[in-house]
Amino acid sequence: MSHGGVSERIGFLRRRIAAIEARDGAASALPAGRLADLSADLSAMGGGGASLDALLSAGHGNLSEALPARAPDAPAAAAFALAMALRARAARGGGALVFILEDLGAREFGLPYGRGLAQAGLDLSGFALIRTRRPRDTLWAMEEALISPACAAVVAETFLTPKLYDLSASRRLLLAARRGGALGLLAPLAPAQGARFSSAAGLRVEIAAAPPPVLPARPPLSPAAPFSWRLRLIKARAGPWGAIDPAQWRDIVYDPERAAFHHAFPERFPSPAFDRPAAAPARRRA
């Protein structure tokens, strides 16, 4: 995604430089413990977040759940699920992406917007939007889509009840995903219900919106980068997740141009809107 011609990649690097500079300069008001945490975190993750990316692209033929931490975080959780779907699609080298949403969800949080999806790196010629009336239809449509060999990833956002989405229902979805080789992503829209699910899903994360930039100055502050979230691990069946503290919230960012997840820096620094260079199309990757 490009903001006024500056690629996300450059934006990320700028924030990173700003953070490093801040640590040496007067702005290094960070407590020492926090700084140690940060460096430990970075070293554990190989400094960049390649391993985090590997964790989040936990393979095809799997079922993952992205729960919102609180009710207003539901769009963020759905966007995270979409990012995981894009990641899975890129890893597979193509395939269709099916997005299923219910009428109630569309009324509450709006419909996926084609222009925004295209900026997120989605090829809309392989995208289908399915609108359902009820959670029961959503589960059915998700299973059908997962079985189909055409799909690389299926995202379903739904107002599920634990009664409807029990162990056997989620097992059905998991088996369908294994048969079709697609990644199934379920984004329940109601947080309180989500915590009580017991499902066969391989991965369950809790998602909250990334916190806004903090600085004493008033605007102009530009908003945090899109595709950034705070993530907490609730359950992981496979992979080296054991090294990660499940209770800890960590900030992550999705890079649409590389189709990869990486760590966001805990500090956030604004890049003033007027400080941006003019669009440089030659440097932007198509």
What residues make contact with another protein under the rule CB under 8 A?
Answer: 1-5, 72-73, 75-76, 78-79, 82, 94-96, 98, 106-107, 109-120, 123-133, 137, 140-141, 144-145, 148-151, 208-213, 219-224, 226, 230, 270, 273, 279, 286
User: Residues 10, 15, 20, 22: what is their CA dihedral angle, to the nearest 10 degrees?
Assistant: 140
Residue 6 or 236 with smaller CB distance to another protein = 6
Q: Which is nearer to another protein, 51 or 119 (CB)?
A: 119
The C-alpha atoms of residue 189 and residue 104 are separated, in whole angstroms, by 10
* Cα(192)–Cα(271) distance, integer angstroms: 36
Nearer to another protein, 43 or 125 (CB): 125
Sign of dihedral through CA atoms 268, 273, 276, 281? positive
End-to-end CA distance of the chain: 10
Q: Residues 78, 66: contact at Cβ < 8 Å?
A: yes
Q: Cα 89 from chain centroid?
A: 14
Nearer CB in complex with another protein: 161/222: 222
Shortest approach of another protein to residue 226 CB, angstroms? Answer: 6
Closest CB 195 distance from another protein, rounded Å: 19
Our CB check for another protein shows the closer of 150 and 192 to be 150
Measure the CA–CA gap between 103 and 112, rounded to whole angstroms.
12
Closest CA to 135 of 178, 194, 94: 194
- In the bound state with another protein, the residue whose beta carbon lies nearer, of 140 and 241, is 140
* Spatial distance between the Cα atoms of 232 and 250, rounded to a whole number of angstroms: 7
Which of 78, 236 has the CB closer to another protein? 78
Min separation Cβ 169 and another protein, Å: 17
Residue in 278, 268, 280, 277 with CA at minimum distance from that of residue 221 = 268
Minimum distance from residue 128 beta carbon to another protein (Å): 6
Question: What's the rounded Cα separation, in Å, for the pair 81 and 75?
Answer: 10
What is the rounded distance in angstroms from the CA atom of residue 240 to the CA atom of residue 167? 24
> At closest approach, how far in Å is the CB of 47 from another protein?
25
What minimum distance in Å lies between the beta carbon of 198 and another protein?
27
Residue 109 beta carbon to another protein: minimum distance, rounded to whole angstroms: 6
CA 176 vs CA 11, 41, 83, 131: distances in Å: 39, 36, 21, 20
